[in-house]
């Protein structure tokens, strides 16, 4: 029975119930849904509530209405879109030369007016910007001086406390004094990587991996070695073990919770293996946990540091994917390296901007953030599923698409031979931005892959953009056929 405390959200609960049944297979394509009247009586909610839940499911393509017959699970979701292949890169430590290309691509992707399927930003309408504006007015009126003065180098004390508190709720006790607040996760990753390596070192990364990590590795004069990864379960620990045997790797960088671009989730057993492995080898481990709060499953997956009792894991995260990208607030959790990182932060940027820290600290102290996250997760999950269905409908046969378990990007493997860089360019000419797969590898692999962001709520221009992507890809495929 549905929880009736939050009547406002009842139709979302109807939605979730049906979605879960479809996902588990207890409702199959073509199956009839419970009648409005019957379901209303069974769940003890109004018919209008059931109707609203069904309407949302219909709009997203999960169910279809048939005149005089009721609602049915869509046959189209039976089109069982295949998952991308697991990767098996050659184990070679390589210099990276990617920055120039990434820079140019991202510049293009930022052109005003393009349909934003490129950058992994949450749509502005999903963010609680008015609530944050009110809180900002309150804290700045209360403490106008604090807002213009330097924050502590390690970050606003109350914000560090709130982050530690939230981490504690996950079962991972963190001392607020082991946290360093940074200019977003980007600075967190840059400071962390710089602090645990020296130029020339080799870093093991997932394949594919987030291009910013590759840029950082290039910037610091490091080498990267790609580790085979699976679109569902992430990093292949057996392969990593072989690599650590053969190569002198100083650090592993891993997005265990919803790898960008795969959306893969490293299972707990593998997280423990990974941490044990690096600890036994004396290899450092940096995790980027920015997508961890955006889980589609019931529970928030644990960060890698939960499995580490040696203080070897450095955790980086931020509020950029969940709350306010423009505030640029990220953080590092690091024990032994904290002083080193503070020193580096002092020389590259001093303390992080004060106002944003004050606002987020105040917001986290309310129940608002958890409520916001619940809504955000549901919206992103809907957007990701809808995009996956639509891409499946419009892209050529043979296309494979990841099935993320969190976050909001999709990894699309176009049929072999299709040049995704050309698809990318053609799309951009038509004011649609996606990202080509090549920048997710130091070796320019993934030439037939794209990353598609689902951060923005569905609208007509996104709908048109997906259709365009389908046409452009088909045309490119034909060209290759000749």
Chain contacts with a second copy (rule: CB under 8 A): 99-100, 102-103, 106, 110, 121, 124-125, 127, 129-130, 132-133, 136-137, 140-141, 144-153, 183-184, 186-187, 190, 199, 212, 215-216, 219, 221, 323-328, 339, 342-344, 346-356
Measured from the CB atom, the residue of 41 and 110 that comes closer to a second copy is 110
Task: Evaluate whether 321 touches 119 at the Cβ level (below 8 Å).
Answer: no
Closest CA to 20 of 378, 408, 402: 378
Nearer residue to a second copy within complex by CB, 57 or 454: 454
Residue 482 structure tokens:
């000749």
**Shortest reach from residue 228's CB to a second copy, in Å:** 25
| Closest separation in Å from C-beta 390 to a second copy | 25
Task: Report in angstroms how near the CB of residue 210 gets to a second copy at its nearest.
Answer: 11
Distance CA 223, CA 236 (A): 20
Taking CA atoms, 403 is separated from 126, 262, 268, 392, 410, in Å, by 22, 8, 19, 12, 7
Q: If residue 193 lies in a helix (H) or strand (E), which one and from where to where?
A: helix 184-196
Nearest to a second copy of 215, 315 (CB atom): 215
Q: Is the dihedral of CA 433, 220, 330, 349 positive or negative?
A: negative
Residue 25 or 100: the one with the smaller Cβ distance to a second copy is: 100
Output the smallest distance, CB 274 to a second copy, in A: 25
Between residues 131 and 393, which has the closer beta carbon with respect to a second copy? 131
Eight-state DSSP code of residue 177: G
Q: From the CB of 158, what's the least distance to a second copy, in Å?
A: 15
In the complex, what is the shortest distance from the CB of residue 130 to a second copy, in angstroms, rounded to a whole number? 5
CB nearer a second copy, residue 1 or residue 145? 145
Distance from CA of residue 231 to its chain's centroid? 13
Q: Which is nearer to a second copy, 240 or 290 (CB)?
A: 290
CB of 110 to a second copy, least distance (A): 7
Decide: 181 and 316 in contact? Cβ < 8 Å.
no
In whole angstroms, give the CA distance from residue 40 to residue 242: 57
Of the candidates 7, 205, 212, 197, the residue with the CA atom closest to the CA atom of residue 102: 212
- What are the structure tokens assigned to 264, written together? 């893969």
């Amino acid at each position: 029975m549905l929880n009736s405390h939050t009547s406002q959200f009842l139709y979302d609960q109807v939605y979730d119930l049906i979605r879960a049944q479809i996902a588990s297979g207890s409702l199959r394509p073509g199956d009839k849904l419970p009648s409005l009247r019957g379901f209303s009586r069974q769940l003890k909610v109004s018919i209008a509530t059931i109707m609203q839940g069904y309407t949302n499911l219909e709009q997203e393509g999960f169910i279809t209405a048939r005149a005089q017959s009721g609602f049915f699970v869509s046959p189209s979701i039976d089109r069982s879109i295949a998952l991308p292949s697991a990767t098996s890169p050659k184990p070679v430590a390589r210099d990276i030369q990617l920055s120039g290309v990434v820079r140019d691509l991202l510049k293009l992707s930022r052109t005003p007016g393009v349909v934003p399927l490129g950058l992994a930003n949450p749509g502005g309408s999903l963010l609680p910007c008015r609530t944050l504006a009110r809180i900002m007015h309150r804290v700045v009126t209360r403490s106008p001086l604090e807002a213009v003065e330097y924050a502590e180098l390690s970050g606003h004390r109350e914000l560090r406390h709130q982050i530690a508190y939230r981490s504690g709720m996950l079962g991972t006790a963190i001392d607020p004094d082991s946290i360093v607040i940074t200019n977003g996760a980007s600075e967190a990753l840059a400071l962390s990587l710089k602090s645990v390596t020296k130029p020339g070192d080799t870093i093991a990364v997932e394949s594919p991996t987030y291009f910013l990590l590759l840029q950082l590795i290039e910037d610091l004069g490091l080498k990267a070695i790609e580790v085979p990864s699976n679109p569902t379960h992430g990093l292949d620990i057996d392969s990593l073990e072989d690599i650590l045997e053969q190569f002198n790797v100083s650090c592993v960088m891993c997005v265990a919770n919803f790898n960008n671009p795969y959306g893969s989730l490293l299972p707990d057993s593998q997280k423990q293996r990974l941490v044990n492995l690096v600890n036994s080898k004396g290899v450092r481990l940096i995790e980027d946990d920015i997508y961890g709060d955006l889980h589609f499953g019931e529970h928030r997956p644990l960060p890698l540091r939960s499995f580490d009792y040696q203080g070897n894991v450095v955790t980086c995260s931020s509020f950029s994917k969940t709350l306010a990208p423009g505030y640029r607030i990220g953080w590092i959790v690091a024990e032994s390296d904290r002083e080193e990182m503070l020193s580096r932060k002092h020389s590259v940027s001093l303390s992080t901007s004060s106002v944003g820290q004050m606002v987020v600290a105040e917001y986290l102290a309310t129940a608002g953030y958890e409520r916001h996250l619940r809504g955000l997760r549901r919206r992103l999950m809907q957007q990701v599923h809808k995009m996956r269905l639509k891409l499946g409908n419009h892209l050529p046969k043979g296309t494979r698409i990841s099935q993320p378990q969190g976050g909001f990007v999709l990894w699309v493997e176009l049929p072999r031979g299709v040049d995704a860089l050309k698809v990318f360019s053609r799309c951009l000419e038509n004011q649609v931005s996606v990202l080509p797969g090549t920048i997710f590898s130091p070796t320019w692999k993934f030439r037939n892959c794209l990353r598609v962001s689902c951060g923005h709520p569905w609208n007509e221009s996104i709908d048109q953009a997906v259709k365009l992507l389908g046409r452009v890809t088909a045309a490119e495929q034909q060209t290759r056929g000749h």
